[in-house]
Structure formats: structure tokens, C-alpha cells
Amino acid sequence: MPNIVAFGASSSLNSINKKLVHFAAQNVPNATVNLLDLNDFEMPLYSTDREKEGIPEKAHAFKAALNRADGIIISFAEHNGAYTTAFKNVFDWISRLEKPIWCGKPMLLLATSTGVRGAKTVLELAHLRLSRDNPTIPIFSLPSFNETFSEKNGITDDELRKKFEVALADFVAQLKQ
């Protein structure tokens, strides 16, 4: 049984990205899922000056969760075309710990928004950065979340559901390697 760490890269309490990542993680066959909430990892804003004072315990705890996982699923919220501050801060802090940053684990990157682009800008940015350590990361963007997703049924658009299933199958295949 694979152990999956999954989180929405958002601090919103009702994040649609948290809903999407939860759905995706539930679709990994026979997986044990550890859903993380970035609100549980709130830390001072990263700076080299703060780093001299020591890396926060919450950064170590987040990294430990990644190390225990067999795979990682992240769904990115888009704030002005980029990562949320909550995600970027966790990313900055864990990057100061041992390498590789994402522990060399297979990853699946997702993004959604209520708009027709489905947070593609941040997904492309995240893939560009995170694929430096893992060039085979599958991605999936879900546009128009309110029209294409149901908490009961998941992805409701057939074409989008098929694209999601391809990305998920790629991730699952990497977990088996």
C-alpha cells in the first residue's frame, strides 16, 4: 500500500484545491493518505536572517512527512499568477533542509480555479521549478471548478476526467517503480 502525502497549496479554509487534491489522493489504488493542511505549518516568513536563528520545527515536521511518503500530490492555488505565500514559505523553509527538496518522491501536480484557465499559470510555474529534481512529474489542470467538479462525484466533465486519469495513471506507475 503506497503512503501518499497530499495537500492543497493554499491557506484558505474552504480551498477548492484542497478538495481536488483530496479527490485525487482517494483515487490512488490501495493508498494510505496523509492529507496535510498548510495552516498547520505556518512559520515566520523565510529570510536568511531568520534562518540563522534556526529552522522552525514545523519545517522539520513537514519534511519528515515527505520523507515517510511514497508519493506526493499537490494542488496549487493561483495568487496573481504565482504560488500562494503559504506554499512558498513552506517551500523556502524545507529547501534549507536536506536535498532533494521533495525527497526524490514521485509527484503529481494539480491546479484548479473557478476560471477557464484552471490556474494553468501557477501549474506551469510549479512544474518548471519542481521538475528540476524530477523531470517526469505528471500534471493536470481543472478549469471552471464550480462547473466541472462535484464533491460527491469528483470531476464531472468526461474529457477532463480522462485527462485526469492519464495523469493519475502516470503517477501510480511511478509509485510502483
Supply the pLDDT for residue 141: 98
The pLDDT > 70 percentage for the chain reads: 100
What is the mean predicted confidence (pLDDT) over 150-156?
Answer: 96
Contact call for residues 134 and 74 (beta carbons, < 8 A) = no
DSSP conformation class of 82: B
What CA–CA distances, in Å, run from 143 to 18, 36, 113, 124, 167?
15, 23, 6, 14, 15
Could you report the per-residue pLDDT of 108-134, keeping only the tens digit for each?
999 999 999 999 999 999 999 999 878
Number of domains in the chain: 1
Mean pLDDT of the chain: 96
Contact call for residues 149 and 142 (beta carbons, < 8 A) = yes
Kindly tell me if the per-residue pLDDT of 177 is higher than 90: no
DSSP conformation class of 1: -
Of the candidates 141, 77, 138, 137, the one whose C-alpha atom is nearest the C-alpha of residue 101 is: 137
State which H helix or E strand residue 50 sits in.
helix 48-52
Contact call for residues 85 and 125 (beta carbons, < 8 A) = no
- Please give the Cα distance from 152 to 103 (Å, whole number): 33
Could you report the per-residue pLDDT of 35-84, keeping only the tens digit for each?
999 999 999 999 999 999 999 999 999 999 999 999 999 999 999 889 99
Kindly tell me if the per-residue pLDDT of 9 is higher than 90: yes
pTM for this prediction? 0.97
Q: Residue 144: left if φ>0, alpha if ψ -120 to 50, beta else—which one?
A: left
Residue range of the domain that includes 62: 3-176
**CATH number of domain containing 84:** 3.40.50.360
Who wins on pLDDT, 135 or 170? 170
Of the candidates 170, 166, 163, the one whose C-alpha atom is nearest the C-alpha of residue 112 is: 163
What CA–CA distances, in Å, run from 174 to 17, 67, 88, 106?
23, 16, 26, 6
Q: Which long-range contacts (CB under 8 A, 24 or more apart) does 146-150 make?
A: 146/114, 149/16, 149/19, 149/20, 149/23, 149/112
- Please give the Cα distance from 31 to 16 (Å, whole number): 22
